[in-house]
Amino acid sequence: MPGTPNCFTVAEPISALDACADFSQYAQLRVCGDTIFWLASHPETGSVALWQADHSGICQVNTGPDSIRSRLNGYGGGAYAVLPGRVIWVADDQRVWQLDRITGKRTLLVPDADNTWGGLVADPQHDRVLAVRERHQQQALMALGATGQVRLLHQGLDFYGAPAVSQDGTRVAWCSWQLPDMPWLQSTLWQATVTADGNIAGASGQPPPVSGSVQQPQFAGEHLWVISDHEGWWQPWQVTRKGGRDQWLKSTAPMLDHANAPWQLGERHSCPLREGGWARVQYRQGIGELWLERAGQCQRVAEGWTDFRDLTPSADGLVCIGRAAERHDAVLKVCADSGSATILAGGQVPDRSIMAPVAPVTFVVDAETPDTPSVQGFLYPPISAPTAAPPVILIAHGGPTSAAYAVYNPQVQFWCQRGFAVAEVNYTGSTGAGRDFRLRLAGRWGEADAQDMVRCADYLTAQGLVCTNNVFIQGRSSGGYTALMAAVQTDRFKAVGSLFGVTDPWRLRTATHRFESGYLDWLLGDPQSHYARWQARAPALHADRIRCPAIFFQGGKDAVVVPEQTRRMVAALQARGQPVELHWYEDEGHGFQRADNQAHMLESLYRFYGSLASDDPEIRQKDNEPAHKLS
């Protein structure tokens, strides 16, 4: 019929720039009254902005031209807080601002830029915000008043987690940890009374009954709850103080992790429901499940979603950040009575003009020996159906105390739409499988994790799921180190990619930031007692054992994995005549923020891997295909 539009369109692969520029991640959801707030990234510029939703709709909050970003401990968290009359936030330069929610006037609350702030929490009973401040490499718990008053509440501990304030404002709790520990190894719960003048008194700390990691304190009425792994899993516990000591009462939650490693301050994987009961996240084989516990009954809800963050009670249930395998991040409202989940913001499915996203398939490599436990991962098969098994990119997540999740990532889809399979591996040391599995990496970094990557490659090829001769491996940060160590130990891989990855732990030990200054000793052992191990686990010292092509990406302002790490590794490979590429981004830090830089990295990897996947001509990038250029 003339004039009728064609209803049949051919879906195109997502471009590298779209895969990076159109992917806004949500974080740090907060609720004040009937208004919901959250942070959303803007990959085009690398900025982070504040958004809100209420009865009048959704809009961006005018906090000015600067990003909202805490740099505390290098990874931030708790970058803003909301009070009934105003919003307080940490700008990119670490100065603290506030916005009058009625007049829209912005004022500089703390002009001193020599501090680093994070873990902001509202204390409405005292019309102030509590926060963690770091100055001259010393942290303290602070209070920020409405007119810029800065009050010291507690100091003397190496690190402070985000505080929790009771509903009546009379009690405060927080977690702390001391060097050389990381917060997911060993930490202490602190409690104190808030006096009438706003100071705190009677502060006392007590670790869990058995050595463990305690996190996410929060008050439910008069009761204090935490998540602790001292019995093997991050589970909810009620802590009651009697006779000057804490009694830890275990909940009925199952033996599963109910939280992630606390890299950032202020995360919440549980919340009390206003009508009684709890909402809690459980991790099972890498999938986050949301469960409601009410009147002794448990119900799983929002089953179409695979991860949940920042759980916060609402009038008839809760709101949270929801993530799924085939759609963008969303602000979710979950009804406690029906269990239904409603998208309030975000949650878009990819444009119909782009190929539909590939869903991950869980795989498990069975345990071989007591020293090689079972390993879980997610396989994303390619969209095309090649006549032979496809090439695969094995991805080692960063951390290494972190995890891969079954959530939408358009950069993974970029590969699947071009004939590659992608396998994300939760190797030894990952979170989500209990404390013992996490602590198995102690002294074995660069060994156990690298072996797991090889085991997964062997498993996937043995199952006929991927091509034996076209296995690539890459990782970011510590994942780059794992990928390089796997390439050092075997010739199993066609090529290796390091995205701002560690190459020499010994040198990094003296150059990295304070938060992780003791982490390497845990991962590899005391450097004096285990000097040979440190030397054996340095890819830069064993460049001659890497027999496959390598590609590197590095930011010039990286304060976590300092740029010299990558320079030395590339120089070592070049000196031995190894094929190697280096892509340098002078204005980027640890983890690239600008979409054009991310797209350039993705396209560079595609050209690099595509030219090597020689036995599958469909994978090769056409010589005349335009490449995205750096601005």
Cα–Cα distance for residue pair 504/8, rounded to 1 Å: 54
- Sign of the torsion formed by the C-alpha atoms of 483, 484, 488 and 492: positive
Preceding peptide of 400 cis, ω within 30°: yes
Cβ neighbours around 31 below 10 Å, total: 17
- Mind listing the pLDDT tens digit for each residue in 590-618? 888 888 999 999 999 999 999 998 655 55
Residue 112 has pLDDT above 90, yes or no: no
Closest of 334, 225, 262, 265 to residue 120, by C-alpha: 265
* 622 — pLDDT class (breaks 50, 70, 90): very low
Phi-psi region of 199 (alpha: psi -120 to 50; beta: other; left: phi over 0): beta
Torsion angle of alpha carbons 593, 594, 597, 599, nearest 10°? Answer: 100
Q: What share of the chain is helix, strand, coil (3-state, %, to 5)?
A: 20, 35, 45
**Phi, psi for residue 599 in degrees, rounded to 5:** -65, -40
Residue 7 has pLDDT above 70, yes or no: no
pTM, whole model, 2 decimals?
0.92
Measured CA angle at 354 (ends 350, 359), to 5 deg: 60
List the alpha helices (DSSP H) in 315-401.
none
Residue pair 542/446 in contact by the 8 Å Cβ criterion? no
**Continuous segment of H or E residues that includes residue 294:** strand 287-294
Q: What is the pLDDT of residue 531?
A: 94
Residue pair 270/280 in contact by the 8 Å Cβ criterion? yes
**Phi, psi for residue 5 in degrees, rounded to 5:** -70, 150
Residues paired with residue 290 on neighbouring β-strands, in sequence order: 281, 301
Residue type, 617: P
DSSP-derived 3-state class of residue 533:
helix
* 63 — pLDDT class (breaks 50, 70, 90): very high
**Phi, psi for residue 225 in degrees, rounded to 5:** -120, 150
The tokens of 176 are what?
A: 């702390």
Q: What is the pLDDT of residue 585?
A: 92
Using N-to-C axis directions, what is the helix angle for 478-489 and 448-462, rounded to 10°?
70
Q: What is the pLDDT of residue 275?
A: 87
Residue pair 470/616 in contact by the 8 Å Cβ criterion? yes
Residue 629 has pLDDT above 50, yes or no: no
Cβ neighbours around 589 below 10 Å, total: 18
Residue pair 94/71 in contact by the 8 Å Cβ criterion? yes
Measured CA angle at 39 (ends 228, 400), to 5 deg: 45
- Sign of the torsion formed by the C-alpha atoms of 203, 206, 212 and 215: negative
Cβ neighbours around 107 below 10 Å, total: 12
Residue 12 has pLDDT above 70, yes or no: yes
Closest of 437, 412, 550 to residue 483, by C-alpha: 550
pLDDT over 90 percentage in the chain:
81
Q: How far is CA 211 from the centre of its chain?
A: 25
DSSP-derived 3-state class of residue 288:
strand
- Mind listing the pLDDT tens digit for each residue in 458-481? 999 999 999 999 999 999 999 999
DSSP-derived 3-state class of residue 457:
helix
Q: What is the pLDDT of residue 626?
A: 34
Measured CA angle at 100 (ends 94, 105), to 5 deg: 80
Residue 342 has pLDDT above 80, yes or no: yes
- Mind listing the pLDDT tens digit for each residue in 191-242? 999 999 999 999 999 999 999 999 999 999 889 999 999 999 999 999 997 7
**DSSP assignment letter at 450:** H
List Cα–Cα distances, 312 to 61, 234, 393, 469, in angstroms. 20, 19, 37, 48
Residue 631 has pLDDT above 50, yes or no: no
pLDDT over 70 percentage in the chain:
95
Cα–Cα distance for residue pair 3/88, rounded to 1 Å: 54
**Three-state SS annotation for 198-227:** CCEEEEEEECCCCCCCEEEEEEECCEEEEE
Average pLDDT, integer, range 333-340: 93
Q: For residues 300-325, b (16+ Cβ closer than 10 Å) or e, as one string?
A: ebbeebbbbbbbebbeebbbbbbbbb
Cβ neighbours around 221 below 10 Å, total: 9
Residues paired with residue 250 on neighbouring β-strands, in sequence order: 237
Residue 6 has pLDDT above 60, yes or no: no
- Mind listing the pLDDT tens digit for each residue in 403-461? 999 999 999 999 999 999 999 999 999 999 999 999 999 999 999 999 999 999 999 99
Cα–Cα distance for residue pair 514/76, rounded to 1 Å: 14
- Sign of the torsion formed by the C-alpha atoms of 221, 291, 343 and 39: positive
Closest of 317, 311, 278, 271 to residue 297, by C-alpha: 278
Cα–Cα distance for residue pair 116/139, rounded to 1 Å: 9
Average pLDDT, integer, range 282-299: 94
Average pLDDT, integer, range 10-27: 87
Average pLDDT, integer, range 129-156: 96
Residue 523 has pLDDT above 90, yes or no: yes
Residues 6+ away with beta carbon under 8 Å from 212: 186, 228, 229, 230, 231, 435
- Which of 328-337, 400-409, 533-542, 551-560 is the least confident region? 551-560
Q: What is the pLDDT of residue 8?
A: 45
- Which of 37-41, 108-112, 240-244, 607-611 is the least confident region? 240-244
Q: Across the chain, what does the average pLDDT equal?
A: 92
Q: What is the pLDDT of residue 619?
A: 55
